[in-house]
């Protein structure tokens, strides 16, 4: 798996580390990386073209060492992953087994009209979305309209979770238990939707 961080974090953020370590413990090697602006100590993300160039370079490095890759990302990192998976008129889509999106930013906060969904139907690989019902960047009605109907896609709605996938105490979740559940759900999804029957033993091994 190639796991990308969100706009306000980096590859050492506790959420990225927890997902990486949880999946690795289940037999899924995970590569994380920093976008250039984080390595240079800047808070403002790079332009889309720079983010994608970095993301593709990380993919190509991993593709030389792995027969099958699943792209994954938190927020902005997930958005970049979907652009790579979809391709466009100028760039061929990358060869992947699937895409996992943790808090996909369907639109900017307060700007429901600026959807980031036009390219999603072009993603041919299976997709798994984890989305909070209180996510300011993913209005529930728009999620149902634009994400739910996508072919070969599974959507996990997390009640009362915000864009950081934080939940109130009354939800019954803790940060650790929710992350553990998402990791286990991702692990199961990889078996069910990505990995062929003959390859399952290799993953478990």
Residue 64 belongs to some domain of the structure: yes
Taking the C-alpha atoms of residue 3 and residue 8, their distance in angstroms, rounded to an integer, is 15
Query: How many independent structural domains does the chain possess?
Result: 1
Question: What's the pLDDT score for residue 90?
Answer: 77
What is the number of helices (H) and of strands (E) in the chain? 7, 6
Asked if 8 and 14 touch (Cβ cutoff 8 Å), the reply is no
3-state secondary structure of 117: coil
CATH number at 33 reads 3.40.50.1820
CA distance to 88, 119, 142, 144, per residue, from 149 (Å): 21, 14, 11, 7
Along the chain (205 residues), what's the average pLDDT of each consecutive run of 10 residues? 96 96 96 96 94 97 94 98 90 94 96 94 97 97 97 96 92 91 97 67 43
Question: What's the pLDDT score for residue 164?
Answer: 94
- The DSSP element (H or E) to which 200 belongs, if any, is helix 200-204
Among 197, 181, 201, smallest CA distance to 23 is for 181
Question: What's the pLDDT score for residue 196?
Answer: 60
Tokens for 45, please give them.
């993300």
Residue 204 belongs to some domain of the structure: no
What range defines the domain where residue 114 resides?
2-195
Residue 181 belongs to some domain of the structure: yes
Taking the C-alpha atoms of residue 154 and residue 194, their distance in angstroms, rounded to an integer, is 12
Residue 137 belongs to some domain of the structure: yes
Residue 92's φ and ψ, nearest 5 degrees, are -70, 140
Judged on CB neighbours under 10 Å (0-12, 13-18, 19+), 71 is buried
Residue 202 belongs to some domain of the structure: no
- The DSSP element (H or E) to which 22 belongs, if any, is helix 14-25
175-189 helix and 14-25 helix, angle to the nearest 10 degrees: 40
Taking the C-alpha atoms of residue 160 and residue 171, their distance in angstroms, rounded to an integer, is 7
Residue 203 belongs to some domain of the structure: no
Residue 201 belongs to some domain of the structure: no
């Amino acid at each position: 798996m190639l796991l990308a961080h969100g706009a306000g974090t980096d590859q050492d953020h506790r959420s990225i580390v927890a997902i990486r370590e949880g999946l690795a413990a289940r037999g899924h090697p995970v590569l994380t990386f920093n976008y250039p602006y984080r390595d240079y100590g800047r808070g403002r993300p790079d332009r889309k073209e720079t983010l994608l160039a970095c993301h593709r370079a990380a993919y190509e490095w991993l593709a030389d060492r792995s027969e099958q890759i699943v792209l994954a990302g938190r927020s902005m990192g997930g958005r970049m992953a979907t652009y790579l998976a979809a391709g466009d008129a100028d760039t061929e889509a990358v060869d992947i087994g699937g895409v996992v999106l943790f808090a996909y930013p369907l639109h900017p906060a307060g700007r429901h009209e600026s959807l980031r969904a036009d390219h999603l139907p072009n993603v041919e690989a299976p997709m798994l979305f984890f989305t909070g019902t209180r996510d300011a960047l993913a209005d529930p009605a728009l999620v149902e309209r634009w994400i739910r109907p996508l072919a070969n896609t599974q959507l996990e709605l997390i009640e009362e979770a915000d864009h950081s996938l934080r939940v109130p105490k009354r939800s019954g979740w803790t940060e650790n238990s929710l992350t553990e559940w998402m990791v286990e759900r991702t692990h199961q999804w990889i078996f069910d939707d990505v990995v062929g029957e003959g390859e399952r033993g290799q993953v478990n091994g």
